[in-house]
Chains A and B, each alone.
Chain A
Amino acid sequence: MVDAMTTRIFIPRDVAALAVGADEVARAVAAQAAALSTAVTIVRTGSRGLFWLEPMVEVETPLGRIAYGPVQAGDVAALFAAGWLTGATHPLRVGRPEDHPFLARQTRLTFARCGIVDPLSVEDYKAAGGYRGLAKAIEVGGAATVEAVTKSGLRGRGGAGFPTGIKWKTVRDAVADQKYIVCNADEGDSGTFADRMILEGDPFCLIEGMTIAGLAVGATRGYIYSRSEYPHANATMRAALDIARAAGLLGRDILGSGLEFHLELRVGAGAYVCGEETALLESLEGKRGVVRAKPPLPALKGLFGRPTVVNNLLSLATIPVILDLGAQYYADFGMGRSRGTMPIQLAGNVLHGGLFETAFGLTLGEIVMEVGGGTASRRPVRAVQAGGPLGAYLPPSQFDTPYDYEAFAARDALIGHGGLVVFDDTVDMAHMARFAMEFCAEESCGKCTPCRIGSTRGAEVVDRILAGRDVAANIALLEDLCNTMKFGSLCALGGFTPYPVLSAIRHFPEDFHTRNSPGRRLPAAAE
């Protein structure tokens, strides 16, 4: 029990908050409270996802939780002096987080608890609705659980947008001595951090979602495949797994229901392609992360040749709320065939960067300009890359595109894992096209020639364009190479790298065609 005389102060432990000084703030708060002989209890939470306000500190007051941010260690004494323990005004006072327009405009289903609860407290998790979804799944059984996921309209949040319920049904119907649930937490796309936020801010939600998946398809073992670039997230997840095992939430007889599910964390080693599901399975088996030809589908022959559900972390972390509040409740959000909510990640050169979970259907312009507030540099927005390094660059003339899988596809663009990276008018799009090719060359698993060799050639061709040599001929050559890669690659690394490249040429031709012309505006950031 928390002593009634102590004030609870919530300080994020999310790595993005740590990267801008949250630990220093926590130390300063503890020191200042001791100096003033004031009783405070510091609770470390995940992040609410308003990253421009991090470190954002929340004080529990009679008015509710009052946020202050961005707080630096040097501000702490003044905040105490101003009376922040009772929610007093101060230039850094944000007010009640839920009243902030950035949060008030969201629909938080997957992220309902992130940034609010202590991520390693099972009591907090249960008090905030945790384990109601699993209880429901146990009550209705596996077949009805799969049915609910299908009815919710949930589509895979890892990139391809495949209906999760259909994948689960395939695995459920397969007969085997062992089945597996694999969580793809290899979040490699630039501009994305939603998986990481759940690992750090609400890990039990993922554990519950995977346990429900195990029950639904008849799998007793699961693996979370995370990345070595996320050491903090992995430490939190490991601690959560230990706590869940000790609390009987994982193991042989979960919650006394007779249900068995064992879950382990595995960490990759810096290979983007291991996010591709078959390369991921190879890597989990301890091999080089080389992409497998499909068929066979992982749903039928996956990990160690057994039927396997491979789902993105967000897909799995959305399962508990679907079971708890009902498939129809979830499906009532969204537009067209994009049902429910999407945790959009606003990143790069954007004023209000962070996590914005909302029903599908807002336009790209509303998200970037109204929610994101335009660029952080206060210069005009020139391009937005949607869906990670394999996603297209969109110009402001396409800001009317609704955020919806089909509407994006119609413009050769990707929702992907929900990342949006904003660039201002200093960006050199030929440079970005080169980067896309270079990244593909660096990360190719080596299995197909168009991907492995084509991308290296592609980078060289862009270099010639950047140098202003035979520009028209080299652009034609680049477009040719892109076509070969699109149609001759086994997986989306080689197959989709052409999208950022071709979209850059199509929407920003002036950065390619006029490299050498005298009047060309030289972007400030280009070398």
Chain B
Amino acid sequence: MPILHALQETFGHVPEDAVPLLADALNLSRADVHGIVSFYHDFREAPAGRHVVKLCRAEACQSMGGHTLAESLLRRLGLDWGGTTGDGQVTIEPVYCLGLCACAPAALIDGRPLGRLNRERLDAAVNEARNDWSTP
């Protein structure tokens, strides 16, 4: 797992080519490694957008309107959960609780925590991430 986390950190996903290398190094079959990568929601098998917006879908965030907030952002970007905008800038991923449940609704944008979100605050943060071409 620490190796998979490191790969994902470096490449933004776990590259297909890495699977046989990992299998060899760890003395596992390719199917084993593939099984592990696919079991965990975090590991992507394809690259994500430049910016990753993790929106909390769990109950405490729903109680503060998180569901409506998420649906309306997805609708405006024309995306489904896990989708990436056409320009490759933003991926919206679901997350089940960030431990920010007393400051709901919450999100993590490129690792930056945001709480007490409403439509304006979320849009501003997503736009800020989108327009910031300098960050990888």
Residues of A within 8 A of B (CB): 15-16, 18-20, 51-52, 54, 187-193, 196, 228-233, 266-272, 283, 286-290, 345-350, 353-354, 376, 385, 389, 419, 421-424, 427, 431-432, 435, 439, 443, 525, 527
Report whether B64 and A269 are in contact in the complex, using a CB–CB cutoff of 8 Å: no
B residues in contact with A353, CB < 8 Å? 101-103
Asked if B106 and A347 sit within 8 Å, CB to CB, the answer is no
**B71 at the binding interface (Cβ < 8 Å):** yes
B36 near A287: Cβ-Cβ < 8 Å: yes
Q: Which residues of B contact A422 (CB under 8 A)?
A: 63
Query: What residues on B are CB-neighbors of A51 within 8 Å?
Result: 102-103
Q: With a CB–CB cut-off of 8 A, which chain A residues contact B108?
A: 229, 231
With beta carbons under 8 angstroms apart, the residue of B4, B26, B68, B99 that contacts A15 is B99
In the complex, whether B115 has a CB less than 8 A from a CB of chain A is yes
B35 with A190: CB separation less than 8 A = no
CB distance from B117 to the nearest CB of A (A): 9
Segment at the interface with A among B38-46, B84-92, B128-136: B38-46
Known: A15-B113, A192-B101, A196-B99. A389 touches B39 (CB 8 A): no
Name the B residues within 8 Å of A20 (CB-CB).
103, 115-116
Contact of A421 among B4, B65, B101, B113 (CB under 8 A): B101
Q: Does B98 contact A (CB under 8 A)?
A: yes
Complex-state Cα separation, A324 to B42, whole angstroms? 40
Given A421-B101, A525-B65, verify A270-B60 contact (CB < 8 Å): no
Q: When the two chains form their complex, are residues B64 and A348 in contact, meaning their CB atoms are under 8 A apart?
A: yes
Query: What would 22 A/B residue contacts be, using CB atoms closer than 8 Å?
Result: A16-B115, A187-B97, A192-B97, A193-B102, A228-B5, A229-B54, A267-B1, A267-B2, A269-B4, A269-B5, A269-B41, A288-B36, A289-B39, A345-B102, A346-B102, A354-B102, A421-B59, A421-B60, A424-B63, A432-B59, A525-B68, A527-B71
One of A267, A288, A435 near B59 (C-beta < 8 A): A435
Residue contact A349 to B113, C-beta cutoff 8 Å: no
Chain B interface residue bracket vs A: 35 or more
A229, A271, A349 interface centre (most CB from chain B within 10 Å) = A229
Which residues of A sit under 8 angstroms from B59, Cβ to Cβ?
Answer: 190-191, 348, 385, 389, 421, 432, 435
Partner of B95, one of A191, A270, A419, A432: A270
Given contacts A19-B100, A267-B1, A348-B101, 8 further A-B contacts (CB under 8 A): A20-B115, A188-B96, A189-B97, A191-B101, A192-B101, A229-B98, A272-B96, A422-B63
The answer for the CA separation of A19 and B36 in the assembled complex, in Å, is 32
Contacts of B26 in A (CB 8 A): 286
The total number of A-B Cβ pairs within 8 Å is 148
Complex Cα gap A228–B115 (Å)? 18
Is B48 on the interface with A (CB-CB < 8 A)?
Answer: no
Instruction: Select from chain B the residue with minimum beta-carbon distance to A445.
Output: B39
In the complex the two chains form, is B115's CB within 8 Å of A19's CB?
yes
Instruction: Find out whether the CB atom of A288 lies under 8 angstroms from the CB atom of B35.
Output: yes
Check A527–B68 contact: CB distance below 8 A: yes
- In the bound assembly, the distance between CA atoms of A193 and B100 in angstroms comes to 7
* Docked complex Cα distance between A269 and B1 (Å): 8
Nearest CB in chain B to that of A500: its residue: B59
Distance of A229 Cα from B97 Cα, bound (Å): 8
> A266 with B42: in contact, given A16-B100, A347-B104, A427-B63 (CB under 8 Å)?
no
Closest to A200 in B: B99
A289: min CB distance to chain B, Å: 6
Q: Which of B5, B62, B106 contacts A19 (CB 8 A)?
A: B106
Which residues of the partner chain A approach B13 to less than 8 Å between Cβ atoms?
Answer: none
| B67 touches A (CB below 8 Å) | yes
Task: Give the complex CA separation of A93 and B2 in angstroms.
Answer: 45
Report the minimum CB–CB distance from A428 to chain B (whole Å). Answer: 10
